[in-house]
Every structure is written in C-alpha cells, then in structure tokens.
C-alpha cells in the first residue's frame, strides 16, 4: 500500500466544512474522496490534518490516504485538478512513509484572519474577510495579542464546554499587518481548539473597538468561561495557511 500526502487549497464559501457529512456532497472531504475513488477504483477514506468549519478557507490543508494505485504522482495531481471543482485545488502530491498520519503527526498550524476595517464595505473581499466599520485601536489589539502568546489553558476561548483531552495550547506568535483598510492577523501555535481562532479574533476586535477591556483575557484564561470572551468572529475571514510536521 502506498501512503499519499496531499496539500490542498480551497475556497470554503460553498461548502459545509471539511468533514464528510453522510450523503451530502457539499464538503471538501467528500469532493476529494469522490475523485480518489474515481481515480483509483478503490473505496478510500482520506484523513485530514483537522476539520475546518463551513465557510472557512485553506491555503495549506493536508490529508493522506492509502492506495494500491500504480498512477504516478504527476498523474494523480493532474487527475485531481481536472476533476475537482475549481474552488478545490490539490497543490502537491507526495509519497510518504507508511506511518505518516496527517492528523496524529501534526506539530503545529498557522492560520490567517482578515478584517476589512473601513466605513465603506468591499465588494471583492466580502467572502474572504470580516467587515468591521467602526474604528479599531491597533495598539490595544497588539497588547491583547501579546497577552495571549505563550502556554495557556484556552478552554474559555473555544466552543468546547468541557474536554477529556488537554485544552492547553502554546501560541508562538500572533501578528497584525495592515495594508490599507485590510488587517491581516496571523496565528501560529502547536494546535488550536474548536473555533479557537475565531473566538480569539472576536475578543481581540472587541478590545480594539473598546467594547471589552484588556483584563478580559486574564479573566477568560483563569476562569475558563466562554461567555466572558468576545463573540465568535465569522468564518469567511479565516484561512488555514500551513500545517507543520
């Protein structure tokens, strides 16, 4: 059996997220598996590095699958991009050792979140950024980011009510770049909890707008209470950039 690793890019706005849902053909996993089954003649289930929510995008999602196909990697790459919808692209096909696992071997991830901060909305970026018309305090948001960096229990910044597994994660970097009216937030960590980036973003933006104070970060990290944090920022501004192994 060959172990094939895929690096995948997709625009998530038409889909119900990464994970296949029953008979629905509106998931990224479902679309890719359908093409693999057509390509190999085998019934194959792929493993992703993690789930992305409905409407969330990816530049560097990773998945792997086992197959007996004799097709070459260039032949597989060509087949994928011929038969997949145009908003899902396989960027790279690699042959991996038998033990490689797209989810269990992950050492870290990088996400981006985009905010269009202007009194006037944008027609072109509306599916790929969150529109925030009110003025934001960049210095306050940078302070908030600095307080979040490090190793913490992020349960209160997640959609999880409780978890049998550890909810402690280490954030290595949160950076903010501004280009005109577009704010680009980058998050790098050893892992992220369900909806963690979007809840962090909602909290950072609430601090930037003055709706919340900086002290809310310490409160949520200490008390681990979700309702004290900001609202969950919408999915269309979120991109999975890269998975680290």
| Distance (Å, whole) CA 232 – CA 194 | 11
Among 103, 92, 88, 84, residue whose Cα is nearest residue 46? 103
Look up 23 and say whether it is catalytic. no
Instruction: Take residue 85 and report the two structure tokens written for it.
Output: 């919808």
Q: How many helices (H) and strands (E) does the chain have?
A: 5, 10
Instruction: Take residue 133 and report the two structure tokens written for it.
Output: 């018309």
Among 109, 245, 229, 223, residue whose Cα is nearest residue 172? 109
Residue with tokens 């681990």: 224
Catalytic residue among 11, 23, 25, 53: 53
Catalytic residues: 53
């Amino acid at each position: 059996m060959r172990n094939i690793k895929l690096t995948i890019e997709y625009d998530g706005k038409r889909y119900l997220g990464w994970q296949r849902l029953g008979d629905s053909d509106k998931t990224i996993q479902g679309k890719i598996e359908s093409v693999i089954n057509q390509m190999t003649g085998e019934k194959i289930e792929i493993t992703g590095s993690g789930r992305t929510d409905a409407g969330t995008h990816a530049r560097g999602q990773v998945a792997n699958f086992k197959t007996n196909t004799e097709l070459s990697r260039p032949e597989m790459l060509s087949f994928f991009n011929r038969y997949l919808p145009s908003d899902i692209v396989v960027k790279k096909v690699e042959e991996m050792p038998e033990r490689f696992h797209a989810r269990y071997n992950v050492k870290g991830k990088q996400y981006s979140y985009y905010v269009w901060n202007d009194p006037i909305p944008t027609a072109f970026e509306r599916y790929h950024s969150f529109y925030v018309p009110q003025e934001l305090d960049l210095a306050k948001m940078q302070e908030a980011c600095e307080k979040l960096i490090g190793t913490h229990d992020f349960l209160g910044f997640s959609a999880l009510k409780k978890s049998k597994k550890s909810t402690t994660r280490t954030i290595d970097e949160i950076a903010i770049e501004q280009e005109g009216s577009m704010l680009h937030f980058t998050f790098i960590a050893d892992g992220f909890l369900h909806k963690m980036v979007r809840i962090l973003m909602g909290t950072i933006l609430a601090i930037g707008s003055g709706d919340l104070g900086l002290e809310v970060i310490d409160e949520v990290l200490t008390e681990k209470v979700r309702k004290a944090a900001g609202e969950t920022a919408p999915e269309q501004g979120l991109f999975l950039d890269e998975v680290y192994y």
